[in-house]
Structure 1
Amino acid sequence: MEVDAALTAAGHTGDPVDSGILFRIAAQLLFEHATWFTASADLQVLTPRDPRHEFILGDAPAVTVGSRQLTERVGVPLELAEVVVMPLGPRHVAALGSQHGYLPVDGRIVSAVNFAQAVHAVEFVFTRPGSPVFQQLLDEHRLRRSAARSAATP
């Protein structure tokens, strides 16, 4: 649906921004696009193999990822996403992608999902009280930063 055609079909003659109709059309287009993407995707539920690992939840929980490894290209446009992940709680993540089923994952995948949540968060990241996840994220960040500095040093 084209915006101009939608405005004309609705008989709209005023300012589309001030009236809110432009927002409504944009939301409808986004909904249609998301519906198209999710209709062809399979649902997978991820859970950590190791009970010491937990998922965190960011304030923008549905994160698009451009690779199945979940470690690179976080926050890509929906049409370029290989996977869309959304934590449901400390032990479960819903993932839309090319496979379906229930999948226990190792700590590397848990860390990648948590990293994606932290990077994509607008302002806050949440976990259950007493969770060790924040310290694990901080340690991983320090290791990545140290490795990047070592690689950049001639």
Structure 2
Amino acid sequence: MNAAHISTQHLVSQVVLREFTMLGPGGGKLLPFDLQNPEWHQKRAGPGACGAAKDFVAIDSPAAENLWNSVETLVPDALAAVKAGRPFDDPQHVDVLRDLVVLHYVRSHRYRSVHTDAFKTVSDKVRSVVVERFPESLRREALRQTGLHLPGLGSLGSFAERLISQSEVTQDFRNGRLFRSSVEATFYKVRDMAAKWRVEVLTPESGQFLIGDTPAVTLRADVRPWSINMAFGDAQTVVLPIGPKYLLSLGPNDLTGTLSQTAVDDLNAVQIRAADRYVYMHPDSGLESFVRDQAHLYQ
């Protein structure tokens, strides 16, 4: 018997979101900030209510959750090592932290958008190629299916689009099966690509990090403002906040370092720019005004 579908799926790991919480009545709460409504009063919430999407993986979601859990269940020990100042004592901790970055890069709003845009691009190209190379075959098939003669390129293009929409691959795209296989394959592919990189654990000299709902961001810092969201292989680094006082960055060496307030502000702005809709922060971070200003800037 197949396991029940899991509709609400966290794209930001709860084990990471909990690092941004403050204990109070009702348990630990963090502060979500709705970037689409920056002037609204922002209410605190528990990590279970944050960083999730409905039916991100629509087919065989329990198996996908098991894949993500294979990384996330190892994160608490790695985080404990980070907080103890010994993130590199155990090589497994380095692997887990790097996999955590990869996990959030793939299991993301951005990856789903890239997948959707790529499918549309390929479908449009297939339609154009079919009309250009096989017009007579299209006409014959249209006559067979509809009894209509289609003389013009416009009508042939519409019929080609109809055939594409009836194809098995399009049906798999619509029901989520294509995305389900793609997101898992991409996780393994990107993890292999990331294996040559090491992990930098960075802390702020002052201030705090916040985290967005699309938190693993590819980055190039050789231009201003920093360029983000390029392909994984084109990035100088991939950054992921894992708490108010810790941020992971993939680089050539395992190292710990500190960041100036300016660099922290730049990285927080990166989280805001990359977010789908929300960023999350510790309730006492004092970052609300900064986020509100940035939200207006990028609206």
TM-based fold match above 0.5: yes
Q: After TM superposition, list the pairs within 5 Å mapping 1:11-22 onto structure 2.
A: 15-19=168-172, 21-22=177-178
Distance in 1, Cα, partners of 2:218 & 2:191: 15
Give, in angstroms, the shift of residue 71 of structure 1.
Answer: 4.7
> Which residue does 1:80 correspond to in 2?
234
1:83–1:95 CA contact under 8 A, matched in 2: yes
Residues 17 and 140 (structure 1 numbering): CA distance in 2 closer, same or farther, change over 3 Å?
closer
Q: Give the structure 1 partner of residue 40 of structure 2.
A: none
Pair 69,114 (structure 1): closer, same or farther in 2 beyond 3 Å: farther
Distance 2:169 2:293 in 1: 49
Identity of aligned residues (%): 26
Alpha-carbon distance in structure 1 between the residues aligned to 2:263 and 2:177: 42
Q: Following the alignment from structure 1 to structure 2, what is the Cα–Cα distance between the partners of residues 140 and 18?
A: 40
TM-score, normalising length from structure 2?
0.39
Following TM superposition, by how much is the alpha carbon of 1:70 offset from its aligned partner in structure 2, in angstroms? Answer: 8.8
1:10 maps to: none
CA deviation map 1:77-117 (0-9, x unaligned): 11111110000011000111223211111112111110110
Q: Which has the higher helix share?
A: 2
Q: SS of the counterpart of 2:228?
A: coil
The answer to whether structure 1 residue 109 and structure 2 residue 263 are counterparts is: yes
Which structure is higher in strand share?
Answer: 1
**2:210 partner letter:** I
Aligned residue for 2:186?
A: 30
Unpaired stretches in structure 2, ≥5 consecutive residues: 1-166
**Bigger radius of gyration:** 2
SS for the counterpart of 2:266 is helix
The offset of 1:38, in angstroms, is 1.3
Q: Deviations over 1:13-62 (max 9, x none)?
A: x8134345533442244123311221011101110112xx0000100111
The total of aligned residue pairs comes to 129
The answer to whether structure 1 residue 65 and structure 2 residue 197 are counterparts is: no
Gaps of 5+ in 1: 1-13, 146-154
The answer as to whether partners of 1:70 and 1:113 remain within 8 angstroms in 2 is: no
Superposed CA RMSD in Å reads 2.7
TM-score by length of 1: 0.71
Question: How many Å apart are 1:139 and its aligned residue?
Answer: 5.6
**CA deviation profile, 1:102-144 (whole Å, cap 9, x unmatched):** 11111121111101100000000111113212323456788x8
Q: Supply the distance in 1 between the matched residues of 2:201 and 2:217 (Cα, whole angstroms).
A: 15
